[in-house]
Amino acid sequence: MRRHRCRIFAWFHLSKHALALAPWATKKPEEPKSVAYYSELYNYIRKAKWLSLVVGNPGTVCAEGYFSSPAADVICLHESDKEVAASFFPAWTAKYPSTSVLILKYGVSTENEMLRWVDFAAKNKFPYIYCTDDRGKNPWDSLPGFWGKEVDAVVNLNPAVGVDHRLHR
């Protein structure tokens, strides 16, 4: 566990306030020992690093235990270039704060498609979404061509946040 902790900090330290655990390296994410492992890791990260946000990414819908234990503050329930309907997400997700769900979309071809996904996330109360037009082995290695429009769309849905989004272009 200690060796894994050090590796995770080296690979996924996003900022002095946030850390992403991605992808969750487990063959059977629904197993109680997998949930216990990531819950223990989450508690260690929060205590040892004083971070305010830990993001977990199984890349798909995971066992409810990851939310109830918890194993992260925010969990990615969909990472794909495929379509998904709101019914894809289990009913138990409604028991947890909507602030705990992330959607990652890659292969988003157009600005209109990106806006559709941002709208989908907002309507379903999934506050974290990122869309990219990139594809391939690592679709997360560059910002999308529509990045400025994506930031604008998210900021327009969250006017109270007061983010100076000009810094993110």
| Average confidence (pLDDT) over 23-44 | 72
CA–centroid distance for 131 within its chain: 11
| Average confidence (pLDDT) over 112-134 | 91
| Neighbour count for residue 61 (Cβ, 10 Å) | 19
Q: Is it the case that residue 20 has pLDDT exceeding 70? A: no
Of residues 98, 105, 115, the one with CA closest to residue 151 = 115
| Average confidence (pLDDT) over 101-118 | 93
Edge to edge, the sheet with strand 18-21 lists 18-21, 53-56, 74-80, 101-105, 128-131
